[in-house]
Structures are given as structure tokens and as C-alpha cells.
Amino acid sequence: MATHVLWFAVAFISALAVVETIRLAQATLPRRPGPRISTSRGGLTAVAASVVVFVVLALAYKSHAVAHADARVVKRLVPDRTKTVQDIATVVTTVGDLVPCFVVAGVLSILIFRRSRSWTAWVLPVVVLVQISVQTATVDTFHDHTLAQFTEHVSTAGAGVSAIPSGSVSRLLSLFVLAAALWRPYSETVAARLLDLGGVVVFIELFTRLYLSRHLLGDIVAGLALSIILVAVFGWIINLDRRTPSTDDVSSADQASVPMPRASVARKRPTTARDRD
């Protein structure tokens, strides 16, 4: 019973964390086209807070006591794991791996480029490369503890060996938020659907990673913080070439709202005596 309550609490908090991270990531996007930083004060605060959280967690999880306390919570989730759900989760969670993320980035880039014809559509695969570089540098620099160091009965492939940050969570969230930002000038509806889809995908990825004991909770939080930083950096880059939609993209409603030139009204000629005759 206690394990079920813990799972419910973890799932609820995870869903809230994903929604809030997407909101903060969107706040970091520039409001006006151009090379200058035009992010709102809230967006700048979100970026600064994310950098602080990322660095603090990377330093904190060098401590054996901090990592061990986190591992005790994650290990409480393991007894409730069934083989059928474990097999399904093992397949589903691969969407956050490096190669699938490159595929997702490539597909999104092609779709966006066909619509915008802008080079900024191709920044999405670069986001994946930068995220991997940051993740590798963080692991090599801080040498944080991993879940595998505190768990002897981990049975899933690749479980417990990943350190701060969670690469799958940060990659997927930043990809979908940036893809939505690239689509927004052309369709608010598509942009909103991309954000909804991204939120669901990131939540499932986060949940399955915890279910399979592949990450500590601190790894997940650091991954969410890194995604905000990536969105802020690449949001500024794509804003350098924000193209205005062509006239073909203007909706009929917008065209109807454009005032039409007034037709010239012929003046009535005064009636003369000849006309009366």
C-alpha cells in the first residue's frame, strides 16, 4: 500500500514538474524578432534559476549521503514492478535514447523547413548534439554518484548507471518546446499540439526511467533544468531569422479584416432645363 501511495505521489509531482518546466521554458523565448535579448524578466529569472539548480545538484550529488538518501526513495519503487509492465517500459523508454532523439529532431526539422524555408528549422538536431556534450562534460567534471552504486538488485539493462543530468528528459522537452516555437508564426494550433504531445512524451519518458531504476530523482530535476537552459539559448538563435509568414499563409479571416478601398461615388449632376424637357 505504501509503495502504491509513493508511486502516485511521484507520478503527480512528475506531471506538475513537466507542465511547469514547459511553461518556464516558453517564458525564456524572445518576444520580438531580432538579435537582441528580448526575453521577459520572468524568462531571465527562469534561466538563472535553472543554471543555479543544475550546478547545485551536480555539486550536491558528489556527496554520498545526498545520493544515498535519493536512492532509498527510488529503491522503494522497485518492489512494485511487474515483469509485463517492465518489458513495456523498457521498449517505451527508448524514445529518449540518443538515436531515436536524432530521428525525432530530424523529422520535426523536415516538417518545419517545408513550412518555413528557414535555416533555423535545422537547429533541432544541433540541440541534441549540444545536450550530449553538456551531459558528457558534466559527468566527467563532477563524477556524481549513480543509483547503481546503492542498488545491488537492479535487473534492467542500463539501469542505475546514468548520472546527472537525465539526457532523455532534457533532449525531448527542449526539442518539442523549440519545435513549437518554430511553428508558432505559422499556426498557433499546431504549436499548441506540439507542446501537448511533448508534455505527454516527456512525462512517459520520465516515469519509465524512474520505473526502471535508471535515474535518481536528482538526475531528473537536473535534466528539466538543463532543458530550460537549452530552450533559452536556441530560442535566441532561431529568433535571429524569424521570417514573416507569406501572404499565402494569411487566413481568410485575416484577409476579410483588411479594409477594402472605398469605391468612388459618382457625384449627381445637377438637373438642367434640358433634362426637364
Percentage helix, strand, coil, to 5, in the chain?
70, 0, 30
The whole-angstrom separation of Cα 116 and Cα 65 is: 51
The 10s digit of each residue's pLDDT in 81-106 is: 678 888 898 899 999 999 999 999 99
State the pTM of this model.
0.82
DSSP summary character for residue 235: H
The whole-angstrom separation of Cα 125 and Cα 138 is: 20
Reduced to 3 states (helix: H, G, I; strand: E, B; else coil), residue 109 is helix
The 10s digit of each residue's pLDDT in 152-175 is: 555 444 454 567 888 999 999 999
